[in-house]
A = this chain, B = another copy of it.
Amino acid sequence: MFVIEVYDVNEKRVAKVLKVSRKYLYWVQNSVLEGEISEANFRRLKEELLEIIDLKEDSLIFYTFRTTKYSERQCFGVLKGGEETIF
């Protein structure tokens, strides 16, 4: 499945959240990652992130897609992410 992760977390936790997220997904833009991921790895990603973030203060959203067939990504301006992705 394809996943887009967006997060809005306290400055103190940003580095840790990014480091864990980059083990599983591609960094695309400030607090946005995306990529193809297995169900098992998606579970691990969520478990690891939920140990880091403060549920009362931080916000973490995953958009999951069983297929990208009906989807498209349009980028304008500076492409900040490095790696190529499925989209």
Q: Which residues of A contact B (CB under 8 A)?
A: 4, 6-9, 28-32, 46, 49-50, 53-67, 69-80, 87
Contact = CB atoms under 8 A, between A and B. Distances in A.
Given A50-B76, A53-B77, A78-B57, A63 B31 contact: no
B61 A29 contact: yes
Given A53-B76, A59-B77, A61-B75, 15 more contacts: A6-B6, A29-B59, A32-B32, A55-B78, A56-B78, A57-B77, A60-B77, A61-B73, A63-B63, A63-B71, A64-B71, A64-B73, A64-B74, A65-B65, A66-B71
Contacts of A46: 74, 76
A71 B66 CA distance: 6
